[in-house]
Amino acid sequence: MQFQSWTFLFFFIPVLVLYWAVRGTRLRIPVLLVASYIFYASFNVYFLICLGVVTIVDYLVALQLSRHRSRWLVCVSLLLDLGMLCSFKYIPRVTDFDWVLPVGLSFFTFKSISYVIDVYRGKIAVERNLLSYAAYVAFFPQLVAGPIDRATTLLPQLRHNVPLRIDDVSEGFSLFVTGLFKKAVMADMLAVYVNVMYEDVTSYSGAMRLLAAYAYAWQIYFDFSGYSDMACGIARCMGFRCMLNFNNPYVSVDVRDFWRRWHISLSTWFRDYVYIPMGGSRCGKLRGWFNVIVTMLVSGAWHGATWTFVVWGGLHGLGSVVSSWFDTSGWYGKIPKIIKQIAVFHFMTLTWIFFRAESFGDAFDVIRGIVTWEEGDFFFPPVPFVLIGLVWIYELMWDSRFRWILETRAARVAAAIFVLVCVLLLGGGANSQFIYQQF
Partner 1 sequence: MKSILKIQHTNGLWLKPWEWAAVLAVTLIVVWGVLPWWHARHLKIDLPKDFRLSYKLRDDYLLYKSVAAKVVESHPALFIGDSVVWGMYVKNDHTLPAILNSKCGGEEIGNLAVDGLHPVVMESLMREYGKDICDRVVYVYLNPLWMTSPLYDLSGDGELAINHPRLLPQFSGKPACYHASFDDRCKAVWERMIDFEALLHHVRVAFLDNKDVKNHLAKQPDKPLCKQLSLNIEPLETGHSNDSKITWEDAGIAEQDWPWVPLDESRQWRSYLNTLKLLKKRGNVVIAVVGTVNPFMQTTASLEKYHAWRAEALKRLKDDGYKTIDLPELPSEEYGDASHPLAAGYERLADFMMNNGSLHIQQP
Active-site positions? 303
Q: How far is the CB of 360 from partner 1 (least distance, A)?
A: 27
- Please state the closest distance from residue 37 (CB atom) to partner 1, in A: 19
Nearer Cβ to partner 1, position 80 or 175?
A: 175
Distance CA 188, CA 263 (A): 20
Min. distance of Cβ 323 from partner 1 in angstroms?
Answer: 22
Q: Which of residues 157-176 bind partner 1 (CB under 8 A)?
A: 157, 160, 162, 166-167, 169-171, 173-174
For 231-268, b/e burial (b = at least 16 CB within 10 A) is: bbbbbbbbbbebbebbbbbbbbbbbbbbbebbbbbbbb
- The nearer residue to partner 1, 76 or 406, going by C-beta atoms, is 406
Task: Please report how close the Cβ of residue 429 comes to partner 1 at its closest, in angstroms.
Answer: 5
**CA neighbor of 340 nearest in space, from 256, 215, 247, 281:** 256
What are the residues facing 377 on neighbouring strands? 204
Burial class (CB in 10 A: 0-12, 13-18, 19+), 117: buried
The residue ranges of DSSP E strands in 236-362, in sequence order, are none
Q: How many residues bind partner 1 (CB under 8 A)?
A: 58
Which residues inside 196-215 make contact with partner 1, applying CB under 8 A?
A: 196
Do 237 and 141 contact (CB within 8 A), yes or no?
no
Give the angle subtended at the CA of 103 by the CAs of 101 and 108, to the nearest 5°. Answer: 110
173, 169, 216: which is closest to 192 by C-alpha? 216
Checking phi first, is residue 311 left (phi over 0); if not, alpha (psi -120 to 50) or beta?
Answer: alpha
Nearer to partner 1, 196 or 298 (CB): 196
Q: Is 190 in the site for partner 1 (CB under 8 A)?
A: yes
Residues 272-311 vs partner 1: string with x where CB under 8 A? ----------------------------------------
5, 25, 70, 438: which one binds partner 1 (CB under 8 A)? 5
Binding letters toward partner 1, positions 410-429, x by CB under 8 A: -xxx-xxx-xxx--xxx-xx
Stretch that binds partner 1, among 14-22, 93-101, 122-130, 192-200 (CB under 8 A): 192-200
Q: Which of 394, 396, 400, 437 touches partner 1 by CB under 8 A? A: 394
Residue 14 binds to partner 1 (criterion: CB under 8 A): no
Decide if residue 383 touches partner 1 (CB under 8 A): yes
Q: Is 431 in the site for partner 1 (CB under 8 A)?
A: yes
Indicate the residue among 159 and 287 with the shorter CB distance to partner 1: 159
One residue of 314, 317, 319, 384 binding partner 1 per CB under 8 A? 384
Q: Provide the minimum distance between the beta carbon of 203 and partner 1 in the complex, in angstroms, as a whole number.
A: 15
Site for partner 1 in 243-262 (CB under 8 A): 244, 246-248
Other beta carbons within 10 Å of 124: 19
User: Which is closer to partner 1, CB of 11 or CB of 307?
Assistant: 11
Give yes or no for residue 392 binding partner 1 (CB under 8 A): no
* Cβ contacts of 74 within 8 Å, gap of 6 or more: 61, 65, 116, 117, 120
According to the 3-state scheme, what is the secondary structure of 63-125?
HHHHHCCCHHHHHHHHHHHHHHHHHHHHHHHHCCCCCCCCCCHHHHHHHHHHHHHHHHHCCCC
Position 75 contacts partner 1 (CB under 8 A): no
101 touches 89 (CB < 8 A):
yes
In DSSP terms, 204 is beta-bridged to: 377
Q: Closest Cα partner for 136 from 32, 62, 234, 46?
A: 32
Binding status of residue 126 toward partner 1 by CB under 8 A: no
Rounded CA-CA distance 370/208 in Å is: 8
**6 lies in the binding site for partner 1 (CB under 8 A):** yes
Q: Which is nearer to partner 1, 283 or 413 (CB)?
A: 413
| Per CB under 8 A, 324 contacts partner 1 | no
Binding stretches for partner 1 (CB under 8 A): 5-7, 10, 153, 156-157, 160, 162, 166-167, 169-171, 173-174, 177-178, 185, 188-190, 192-193, 196, 241, 244, 246-248, 379-384, 394-395, 398, 403, 406-407, 409, 411-413, 415-417, 419-421, 424-426, 428-429, 431
